[in-house]
Amino acid sequence: MFRQLAAVALVLCLCGGIPVGAVAQSNGGTQSVEPWQREFDEICGPTHDAMTFTPDELASLIARCDALLPKLQKLDDTRRKVFTNRLQMCRGLYAYVLESKKSEKK
């Protein structure tokens, strides 16, 4: 029985049926990671590595920020405020690093 359950859980995980890295209860009571949030985490998670990205990678991250913004603006008041501000901060950083890399080349 245990083996069967473990196998089912593994299959579900691999299929994306169980949200990976579920958000803790403290995060606004959200139990699962919504697609916008997964995208947000992917974009804004690696700001620590901003200096190591190539100009193309930075440009791609900026484009993903711009694509995500309209989705965040449809959230409830609280989450819209929190996540649009955070997105602006990480977009700002990527644009800043991109600009500084371009100016280094000149």
Partner 1 sequence: MSRKTIVAVALLLLSCTPLIAQTKKKRPLPYEYGRVVINNSSERSNMAPVVFEHWIHRRRFTCRVCHVDVGFGMRAGSTGIKAIDNERGFYCGSCHNGKLMVDGKSLFQACAPTMTAENHKRCDRCHSLGKNVQTEVDFFQFSAPLPKERFGNGIDWEKAEEMGLIKPATELEGFSGRKNSMATQKDFALNPKVEGMPDIIFSHQKHTVWNGCELCHPDIFVGVKRGNSHYSMVDISEGKSCGACHVSVAFPLTDCQRCHAKPVQP
- The stretch among 3-11, 37-45, 55-63, 66-74 that binds partner 1 (CB under 8 A) is 37-45
Q: How far is the CB of 70 from partner 1 (least distance, A)?
A: 19
Residue 26 contacts partner 1 per CB under 8 A: yes
Tell me the H-state helices in 1-106.
Answer: 2-15, 35-44, 55-72, 77-105
Residue 66 contacts partner 1 per CB under 8 A: no
- Closest to partner 1 by CB, 21 or 70: 21
- DSSP conformation class of 19: P
- Per-residue exposure over 33-54, b if at least 16 CB sit within 10 Å of its own CB, e if not: beeebebbeebbeeeeebeebe
Residue 54 contacts partner 1 per CB under 8 A: no
Q: How far apart are CA 83 and CA 25, in angstroms?
A: 17
Residue 27 contacts partner 1 per CB under 8 A: yes
Q: How far apart are CA 22 and CA 29, in angstroms?
A: 11
Residue 92 contacts partner 1 per CB under 8 A: yes
Residue 65 contacts partner 1 per CB under 8 A: no
Residue 80 contacts partner 1 per CB under 8 A: no
